[in-house]
Amino acid sequence: MGTTIDLDDTITAYLASPEGELKGALVLIHEIWGLVPNITNIADRFADEGYLVIAPDIMSGIGIVPEVGLELQALVFSADEQTRADAQPVLRDRMAPARVPEYATWAIAALKKAVDYLAAAPGVNGRIAVTGFCFGGGYSFALAGADSRVKAAVPFYGQAPATADVTTIACPVLAFYGDQDASLMATLPAVTTQLTDAGVDFRPHVFPGVGHAFFNDTNAITYDAKAATAAWEETLAFLAEKLA
């Protein structure tokens, strides 16, 4: 269903278009593994629901092309304990370029180009939202705060980059978490207070008994079908309401 497009000379994106009625448009931000098939499949699922979806590749530029991302994911979630342990320093080294402030500045600019593309697309008429997973969930918060054209945000188990100002978010935010995701659960009360005090319509939904990456059905260790199905249905209802 989808195709690869160029946002500029350095950034490519996967574009999935609906065949029927256009309900709105969506920037879809991938996990730290990059623009892997799981993400393009999710883009196709949203397109099947009537959304024009653009999923920018913002990791290949720092060396995490999809093939590398898949290899790293396989190592981190290997059934072998020693393999998992050995993968941690490799992962930290490969992901280091994404943790510097300059990268965050570049990434937000790249994501804004995705919004530019959707804003100019026929029939969108300003009906633009953002969603993302893990790393992409964090950047969903960041893009919503940086671009007022975003009318709704749905971060999945994300934490905004330190450089992002989430208090400038002007759209409603539906955010999903698992109560076994210890690091995000520890910060959620402060995030909720910060956003609420800033007047953001923030709706955190915490699923019991699941952890990080519960939506990723390519990861047998983290995936939870019940929570994933519920989050998908809630996301579609939220987008239908906010992009109507």
pLDDT tens readout for residues 93-110: 999 999 999 999 999 999
Instruction: Note the pLDDT of residue 131.
Output: 98
Spell out the domain ranges in the chain.
3-64+101-242
8 Å CB contact between 114 and 7: yes
The residues near 82 (Cβ < 8 Å, ≥ 6 apart) are none
Q: What SS3 class is residue 110? A: helix
Whether the pLDDT of residue 1 is over 80: the answer is no
pLDDT bracket for residue 194 (50, 70, 90) = very high
Q: Residue 184 is inside which H or E element, if any?
A: helix 182-197
Other Cβ atoms less than 10 A from the Cβ of 95: the count is: 16
Average pLDDT for 37-45: 98
What share of the chain in percent tops pLDDT 90? 98
Q: Say what the pTM is.
A: 0.97
Other Cβ atoms less than 10 A from the Cβ of 78: the count is: 15
Average pLDDT for 214-239: 97
124 phi and psi angles, rounded to 5 deg: -70, -45
Question: Span 3-64+101-242: which CATH code?
Answer: 3.40.50.1820
Instruction: Note the pLDDT of residue 122.
Output: 97
Average pLDDT for 73-81: 94
d(CA 70, CA 116): 29
The C-alpha angle with vertex 218 and arms to 213 and 221, in degrees rounded to 5, equals 55
What share of the chain in percent tops pLDDT 70? 100
